[in-house]
Amino acid sequence: MTGFKYSTLTARIFAALIDFVPVGLLYLINISVISPLDAAAAYITGIFVTFIFPLFYYIYLQYRYGQTYGKWVMKLKIVNVNPSQKITLQQILIREGIYLALLGAQSFIRLTGAHMDENTATLIPSSVNFYLSLALDVYFTADVLILIFSTKRRALHDLLSGTVVVFQSK
């Protein structure tokens, strides 16, 4: 790929931190404002914060615009490694799907409380939650290490999906 300036690790970290703000705020509002008032409403908003909003934020925005709000602020864009081709929905689903699926499964277990009741038979053993956490940690660590040592600053999810994050041209 020529003509692109590859993203830096710092720019990607700041974009990720910016991306955390809307999700974090929604989560904070849910647990501190809605949950004390109405447990059923907190459950429904928890589903929105955990599943629906991330699908819009990470899948739709990146497919439609090639960037999330954090990437937009940092002037980063996701592009196909083949510059003559537009990024596809399949690439975005692969790029974000592994992380969102692991995080979603873990959030579902926590949201339903299926792993918390030690006095009765649980639907999902606590070891599942442990292994999901471990898988998230391993995936995230591999993602970051590959990003650090890649000459084109491609993380594991970029390699799997055939994408690269670049600075937007002006």
pLDDT at residue 1 is higher than 60: no
In the block, tokens 């670049």 appear at: 166
Question: What pLDDT shows up at residue 105?
Answer: 82
The string of pLDDT tens digits covering residues 53-104 is 888 999 999 999 999 999 999 999 999 999 889 999 999 999 999 888 888 8
Q: Which helix (H) or strand (E) holds 5?
A: strand 5-6
Domain count along the chain: 1
Range of the domain at 81: 5-115+123-167
Question: What pLDDT shows up at residue 111?
Answer: 67
The string of pLDDT tens digits covering residues 7-42 is 999 999 999 999 999 988 888 887 888 878 887 777
Q: Tell me if 146 sits within 8 A of 160, measured CB to CB.
A: no
Predicted TM-score (pTM) of the model is 0.81
Question: What pLDDT shows up at residue 159?
Answer: 96
